[in-house]
Structure 1
């Protein structure tokens, strides 16, 4: 995963905020996470991603519109990753979708 701050366009755009607590099972998790970032980057409407984990994991992906988010959620390979997450990698998680009205940076 990149340690860069996502270079998003001027607002408005959307953020998908995925917060998670992992299980002790690590089998294939890192590889799948990298694969999902690469796959998301190929999806129409994808704008960038930021991720951090120190016990609690937070991944924020940025999207042009709600249709792009729906298409990503329905992606067949992403659905396999979601199922594996439910079955073995996450003890708990929450997904939030928000519209970014404005942003600013240094």
Structure 2
């Protein structure tokens, strides 16, 4: 899913989660869908983008209004279960970065004939 944030007031925050998956699904896909749905219901959630290569390397970026919104999401009990399962069986490694977005712009190519 791609996040369109062109109408969002600046600044806002991005949580960049880069990861290397382990082999096999082991319930990952279902939990990922659940986390995306749950995240959309959280206060301050603005959008999400996620990409994964066939090698298992991936990037998920979630966007939030405030740092407090991010803290609330991190402490969500269902999200904490997903975090624990991720450490136990879904990820070989991961990295999290929280960034403040102070400037953002978009480009969309119009059809050329």
TM-score range, shorter chain: over 0.9
TM-score using structure 1 length: 0.94
Q: Which residue of 1 aligns with 2:4?
A: 7
Q: Does 1:75 align with 2:85?
A: no
Range moving further from structure 2, 61-70 or 23-32:
23-32
Q: Which residue of 1 aligns with 2:46?
A: 47
TM-score using structure 2 length: 0.88
Give me the whole-angstrom Cα distance separating, in 2, the residues matched to 1:17 and 1:29: 19
Q: Does 1:29 align with 2:28?
A: yes
Range moving further from structure 2, 19-28 or 64-73:
19-28
Structure 1: gaps spanning 5 or more residues: none
Give me the whole-angstrom Cα distance separating, in 2, the residues matched to 1:31 and 1:20: 17
Give the drift of 1:65.
0.3
Work out which of the two has the higher radius of gyration on C-alpha atoms and give 1 or 2: 2
Q: Which residue of 1 aligns with 2:98?
A: 97
Q: Does 1:61 align with 2:58?
A: no
Give the drift of 1:7.
2.0
* Aligned residues between the structures: 103
Q: Deviations over 1:33-74 (max 9, x none)?
A: 000000000000000000000131000000000000000000
Which stretches of structure 1, 4 residues or more, deviate above 6 A after TM superposition?
A: none
Give me the whole-angstrom Cα distance separating, in 2, the residues matched to 1:35 and 1:81: 9
Range moving further from structure 2, 65-74 or 16-25:
16-25
